[in-house]
Chain A
Amino acid sequence: MATAAKKQRRFNFRGSLCMPFAVFMLLFVIFPLCLIVYFAFTDSSGHLYLDNWGKIFTDSTKWLVIGRTFLIAFLTTVFCILIAYPIAFILSNGDRRIRKNKILVYIFILPMWVNFVLRTMALRDMVNWFTSTLFNFQLTSTHPLVGVVVGMVYDYLPFAILPLYNQMIKMDKSQIEAAADLGANPVQVFIKTIIPMTIPGIISACTMTFMPTMSSYVIAYYMGNGKMSIIGTEIEAYAGSGTQGYNPASILSLVMLFIIGLSIFAEKLFDKKGETREGGIW
């Protein structure tokens, strides 16, 4: 008893360094989250009100929007990984000249330095110019869904390359060599050694692209010519319509939070060994 009390009283200096962070979390994460929950279950005058939930979940277009958001996020993640994987591999394990050349890495990271609204608008104009000269239609106008995915992939590609690259430069080259020595053909080498070694990178690349695509809205607005509603655009439309819109907007935010939570849960299932802790960007 006495020792326990003594332990409690002892001033924990290192622990106290966490205080600013705790205050920050409380003010800017926990408190806003509580507000969202509060707004989701009340009406604009602050009384308990649950009809909004019914209204949103019986509206078939809301399901369409939620489904579409999920589809866009999924497609974006898949395409990002498919494109980023070979790029990251070449950058980290390619020819010596490429590997030593940090400028190449910067070329892929550099776009992130440019304001992303401008980048998206420029991309839209470029894509539309391209499709209208070649095929005589404006991509973002006639196929807004494709346009949004193109925009998302373009904007989040660096977020996929970076964790993969970080993981790949740490790969144990001797394992790859050993696999080849023991008679594995290049495909087998890739599947049996390279992929397992880069799993943590793949997982963090997935999180880094899936989560922001779920919640983004500017890209959908520009690349879909205002015709492709995703959860983010609906939230903006509600919240921008005045105070009575905060309530449905909060419900949609919670739905989004739920989906992101599910995706993190799925990721944890996939990654039982906790490998992501060792590498990747986290």
Chain B
Amino acid sequence: MNPKKMLLLAIPMMAIGSLTGCGQSYDVKLVIYNWADYIYTGEDEEGNLTDKSTITRFQEYYQEKYDKVLKVQYRTFSTPEIMYGQIKAGRIKPDLICPSDYMIQKMANEGMLEKFSYNESTATYGDSLKNFQDYGSPFIKERFSEVKLNDSNSFLTYSVPYFWGTMGFTYDPDYFTEDEIGTWEALWSKESKFQKQLSLKDSMRDSYVTAIFHVYKDEIAQLDEESETYNQQLTEIFNRCDDNTLSLVEAALKEASRTTVNAFEVDEGKNEIVKGTYHANLAWSGDAIYAMDSAEEGDKRLNYALPKEGSNVWFDGWCMPKGAQVDVAEEFVNFISNPEIAALNMNAVGYTSPIVGTEMWDLVNDWYAADEEETDTYSVDLSFYFGEDAIIDIPTSEKGRQFDAQYPTEEVLKKCCMMNDFGSQQEKVQDMWLRVKA
């Protein structure tokens, strides 16, 4: 047998060897089911492994702490609906999942989730989640604790936030001014410069958001912005999905689709806006940052505008489906809430981490703060978010760009609402959405 043939034989043999080798080489196994591209993998831009991934770091950390070999089985899903279907049918039994807010709500209300060690009356996490207790942003904790589920527990009992973001328009500032695009009314503009120049998401929940602000614009305009309960009032309007609202939304979306909307897209938009196929793209904040970054590489400038009426703020959080190994899962959530690890993940993913702390603050300053010699700057106060004095100077030329997308101010976030599950109206909303697209 010549060496080449030997080599050819050896490769599958080694593969088999390594497969059987790790068959029982661990003491604990943790199954994590997450969105794709949603964690630090330790790879550089070409996909070469250059650093330890979050998962490897956790495995090493666990071994050091408990002297047991832990193996993480990491799988990814493309939509929370698919993940929900698989868990409901019992096809998979993960210990940790990372769905979006409305899905957490749905699963918790259906009794599909285990509870984290969170005390509702004192609003504190137990020692097993000390990192989130210490480093979780006070703003995020407050928002999450306000959302009550059917069993009168809050979101925080069932979920530990992982990333969050807003939704707005990525736009070309050479074509649109901030005033023109900084409102949902842009979608219903009669001006010729708006026709076929915007894109919406091919996702019923996200496109629903745009129309609800249009349909109830008069009512929203009458709300008192100074009121303590402004956000609650807005959230109530924001979450309407009765039959009457549905028909109004349907008519509005159909009109937009005929006039200003160039395309319904999911993933291509962040590239199309850079190419200039259209000049405004409804985008999640992380995609907006991605688009702005990649536009810069081609010497093009894109900005991000959160419409002045308000918008959707969404969260993805760690949850434990019923039957999960609670102690190991909490250990992982605690580990990932360590500011050092959270900074790695935020750097890789691009959405905003709910974790604060020195490492995070350093990272944010490193990314966005103006150089000392720069004079043309403006200050942003993020103390509400970081929980301690956190004032950062941003170059004025960067206004309305990556930093604003990543860390909206308190003023802006007051107008951003969380979107509930459509509940029993789900099917009707979906039929409405299919009619809009037809």
Contact = CB atoms under 8 A, between A and B. Distances in A.
A24 to B, nearest CB: 24
B434 A225 contact: no
B82 A138 contact: no
Interface string A112-127: 0000000001000100
Given A240-B82, A242-B81, A229 B434 contact: yes
Interface of A: 59, 61, 64-65, 121, 125, 128, 137-138, 140-142, 225-227, 229, 233-234, 237-238, 240-245
Nearest to A222: B268
B246 to A, nearest CB: 14
A244 B85 CA distance: 9
A138 B196 contact: yes
B438 A65 contact: yes
Interface size class of B (residues with CB under 8 A): 20 to 34
B257 interface: yes
A49 to B, nearest CB: 13
A234 B435 CA distance: 10
Contacts of B427: 244
A242 B84 CA distance: 8
Most buried by B among A141, A142, A240: A141
Contacts of A229: 434, 437-438
22 contacts: A61-B435, A64-B438, A65-B438, A125-B275, A125-B277, A138-B262, A140-B263, A141-B196, A141-B278, A225-B264, A225-B265, A226-B264, A226-B265, A227-B257, A227-B261, A227-B263, A227-B437, A234-B434, A237-B433, A237-B437, A242-B82, A243-B89
A128 B257 CA distance: 18
Contacts of B261: 227
A225 B263 contact: yes
Given A237-B434, A241-B430, A244-B427, A225 B262 contact: yes
Nearest to B83: A242
B88 interface: yes
Given A227-B437, A240-B79, A242-B81, A137 B430 contact: no
Given A61-B435, A237-B433, A241-B430, 17 more contacts: A121-B268, A125-B275, A138-B196, A140-B263, A141-B196, A141-B262, A141-B263, A227-B257, A227-B437, A229-B434, A229-B437, A233-B437, A237-B434, A240-B81, A241-B81, A243-B89, A244-B427
A236 to B, nearest CB: 11
Is chain A's interface secondary structure helix, strand, loop, or mixed overall?
A: helix
B20 to A, nearest CB: 29
Interface string B273-308: 001011000000000000000000000000000000
A229 B263 CA distance: 13
Nearest to B266: A226
B202 interface: yes
B421 to A, nearest CB: 12
Contacts of B437: 226-227, 229, 233, 237
A143 B196 CA distance: 11
Contacts of B265: 225-226
A73 B111 CA distance: 47
A242 B437 CA distance: 19
A117 to B, nearest CB: 11
Interface in B211-269: 257, 261-265, 268
A64 B437 CA distance: 12
A253 B312 CA distance: 35
Nearest to B275: A125
Contacts of B262: 138, 141, 225
B263 A243 contact: no
A138 B79 CA distance: 31
B372 to A, nearest CB: 44
Contacts of B202: 226
A65 B431 CA distance: 13
Contacts of A225: 262-265
Interface string B74-100: 000001011011001100000000000
B369 to A, nearest CB: 39
B109 to A, nearest CB: 16
A128 B277 contact: yes
B62 to A, nearest CB: 34
Contacts of A243: 85, 88-89
Contacts of B433: 237
B147 to A, nearest CB: 22
